[in-house]
Structure 1
Amino acid sequence: MLGVDNLTVRYGTHTALEGATVRFEAGQFSAVIGPNGAGKSTLLKVLAGLLPDPQGSVHFDPGHTPRQCVSYVPQQQTLDWAFPVTVWDVAMMGRTGRLGWLRWPGGKDRQKVAAALEETGVYDLRHRHIGALSGGQRQRVLLARMLAREGHLLLLDEPLTGVDPATQEGLMALLRRQADRGRAVVMVTHDLDQARRWCDHLVLVNRRIVADGTPDEVYTPHNIEATFSVSHLGHTHAEA
């Protein structure tokens, strides 16, 4: 589906990622795991086409571009939940991103939005203002927007943060279904246990790719130490 080769990203004098090479496949549920400041979100933004001209290469399957095939769900805290829109409006934004700004959504688009809201369990909330939602409901709305876009590559930055355990289970089951339907799902998370249970591909990151493979291959004491050791991170930085 896509990958990066020898990817290096710097913010001023700070190196967020260095020499990263990894590939994500269709039908695969991948978890990108690492401590704060390790470059997880940076990797996701590169895959989403949000960081221009990174050093290294980003390659999609022939005939695909980020605009055509990527659905990206950012961290909740980066969004303005006071903006005056409804649940339906947010989900419809997924169709707008697919159609472009000069085309109005039609009946097919409304059907896709309704189906996405149904699958994520928030159809009954479609007329509610987004500011009135709980953390778990907000995450489901973001997933509905993602599904409405019908991307082949789903990128999610910390989708489990701020939601209760029952909601986490539902979200992970939903994402597993998307991978089983042939999509490539890439999720940034701190939750090693959830990643081992639900994902078939783990990528451990600490400003470089520490390990990349199946949970059994990757989840070793040596790799966990190399990923989460403070000595590998150097000075503390905010999540990049």
Structure 2
Amino acid sequence: MLGVEGLTVRYGAHTALEDATVRFAPGSFSAVIGPNGAGKSTLLKTVVGLSAPAAGRVTFGPGMGAQSDVAYVPQQQTLDWGFPVTVWDVAMMGRTGRVGWLRWPGRGDRAQVADALRQTGVYELRGRHIGALSGGQRQRVLLARMLARDARVLLLDEPLTGVDAATQEQLMELLRAQADAGRAVVMVTHDLEQASRWCDHLVLVNRRVIADGTPAEVYTPRNIEATFSSSHLGHTHAEA
């Protein structure tokens, strides 16, 4: 459903990702794991077209494309939570790729958004300004926007950051259900425990893809050392 082949991404003289090859299958729940600056966020940004590869390519299944079949949830801190919109408005933004900018959302679009808000537990907050929400509520709204898009590939960058343990469990249950429904779910995370509990496919990244497979295949002392050793990162950079 989604793959990257020989992907290299550079920001000036800094190589964020080098010769990365990995595939994400329908029905899989994948975790991309690695230290800060390892290229995890860059991988997602390149898939959705926010970063341009210096080499390699992103591939999709037949008839698929990033604009119509991919939903992306960025890190919370990269968004402007002071923007004057409501929870409903944010979730409706997920329908833009389906209805287009020039067509007014119809009854079916409104029903899709309402269902997404109910699934994520924020329907009762639909009229509230996003700036008034807690971190966990904001993450739920971003997930609702993602679900409203009804995409076949779901990409999430650090969705567990800033939310409490109970909310984390609920979010992981929701994402697992999306994978079980046949979507490819890809989550960037630092949480090895949650990834091993919920995900069937792990990708360890430290500028390169260190390991790729099931938790049992990937979680070895050698792979963990190669992923989190600072010697593989070179100079320290903020996550791109």
Q: TM-score range by the shorter chain?
A: over 0.9
Tell me the secondary structure at the aligned position of residue 71 of structure 1. Answer: strand
- The corresponding residue for 1:35 is 35
Pair 1:4-2:10 in alignment: no
- The corresponding residue for 1:153 is 153
Q: TM-score, normalised by structure 1?
A: 0.99
Q: How does 1:158-169 map to 2 (within 5 A)?
A: 158-169=158-169
- The corresponding residue for 1:45 is 45
Q: CA deviation at 1:208?
A: 0.1
Pick closer, same or farther for the CA change 1:105–1:54 going to 2, 3 Å. farther
User: What whole-Å deviation, never above 9, does each CA across 1:102-128 have from its counterpart, x for those lacking one?
Assistant: 111010000000000000000000011
- The corresponding residue for 1:198 is 198
Tell me the secondary structure at the aligned position of residue 175 of structure 1. Answer: helix
Pair 1:18-2:28 in alignment: no
- The corresponding residue for 1:78 is 78
User: What whole-Å deviation, never above 9, does each CA across 1:161-204 have from its counterpart, x for those lacking one?
Assistant: 00011100000000000000000000000000000000000000
Give the conservation status (yes or no) of the 8 Å contact 1:48–1:155.
no
- The corresponding residue for 1:143 is 143
User: What whole-Å deviation, never above 9, does each CA across 1:51-91 have from its counterpart, x for those lacking one?
Assistant: 23541021111111101100000000000001111000000
User: What whole-Å deviation, never above 9, does each CA across 1:13-34 have from its counterpart, x for those lacking one?
Assistant: 0000111000001100000000
Pair 1:102-2:116 in alignment: no
Instruction: Tell me the amino acid that sits aligned with residue 38 of structure 1.
Output: A
Q: TM-score, normalised by structure 2?
A: 0.99
Give the conservation status (yes or no) of the 8 Å contact 2:68–2:97.
no
Pair 1:62-2:62 in alignment: yes
Give the conservation status (yes or no) of the 8 Å contact 2:76–2:139.
yes
- How many residue pairs match? The answer is 240
Instruction: Tell me the amino acid that sits aligned with residue 83 of structure 1.
Output: F
RMSD: 0.8
The separation in 1 between residues aligned to 2:98 and 2:133, in whole angstroms, is 26
Q: CA deviation at 1:2?
A: 1.2
User: What whole-Å deviation, never above 9, does each CA across 1:138-164 have from its counterpart, x for those lacking one?
Assistant: 000000000000000000000000001
The separation in 2 between residues aligned to 1:5 and 1:116, in whole angstroms, is 33
* Runs (4+) off by over 4 Å: none
The separation in 1 between residues aligned to 2:8 and 2:100, in whole angstroms, is 31
Q: How does 1:163-178 map to 2 (within 5 A)?
A: 163-178=163-178
The separation in 2 between residues aligned to 1:239 and 1:53, in whole angstroms, is 16
Tell me the secondary structure at the aligned position of residue 30 of structure 1. Answer: strand
- The corresponding residue for 1:238 is 238
The separation in 1 between residues aligned to 2:194 and 2:33, in whole angstroms, is 11
The separation in 1 between residues aligned to 2:53 and 2:219, in whole angstroms, is 33
- Flag structure 1 segments of 5+ consecutive residues without an equivalent: none
Q: Which moves more between the two structures, 41-50 or 151-160?
A: 41-50
